[in-house]
Amino acid sequence: MNKEFNIQEYMTRGVERVVSDAIKATLKNPKESAYMARFAMATKAASKKRAKLEAEGEHIPPFLIASITSSCNLHCAGCYSRCNNATNDTEPVHQLTDDEWLKIFDEADELGVSFILLAGGEPLLRKGVIESAGKKQNILFPIFTNGTFMTDKYFELFDKNRNLIPIMSIEGEKKATDNRRGDGVYDKLISNMDELQSRGLIYGASVTVTTENLNDVSSESFIGSLSDKGCKAVIFVEFVPVTDDSKHLAPGDDDREYLKNEIMRLRQEHPEMVFVSFPGDEKSSGGCIAAGRGFFHINSHGGAEPCPFSPYSDINVKDTSLREAMNSKLFKALQSEGVLMDDHDGGCVLYEKRKLVEEIFLA
Domain segments of the chain as ranges: 7-362
> Are the beta carbons of 298 and 64 closer than 8 angstroms?
yes
pLDDT tens digits for range 297-327? 999 999 999 998 888 999 999 999 999 999 9
Residue 219 has pLDDT above 60, yes or no: yes
| Structure confidence at residue 44 (pLDDT) | 95
Question: Under a CB-based contact definition with an 8 Å cutoff, are residues 96 and 302 in contact?
Answer: yes
pLDDT tens digits along 256-286 = 889 989 999 999 999 999 998 887 656 666 6
Percent residues over pLDDT 90 in the chain: 64
Report the pLDDT value the prediction gives residue 345, as an integer from 0 to 100: 57
Measuring CA to CA, which residue among 71, 16, 97 is closest to residue 318? 97
With a cut of 90, say whether residue 234 has pLDDT above it.
Answer: yes
**Phi, psi for residue 115 in degrees, rounded to 5:** -130, 130
- State pLDDT tens for residues 166-176: 999 999 999 99
The model's confidence at residue 3, banded by pLDDT at 50, 70 and 90, is very low
Q: Which CATH class name applies to 7-362?
A: alpha beta
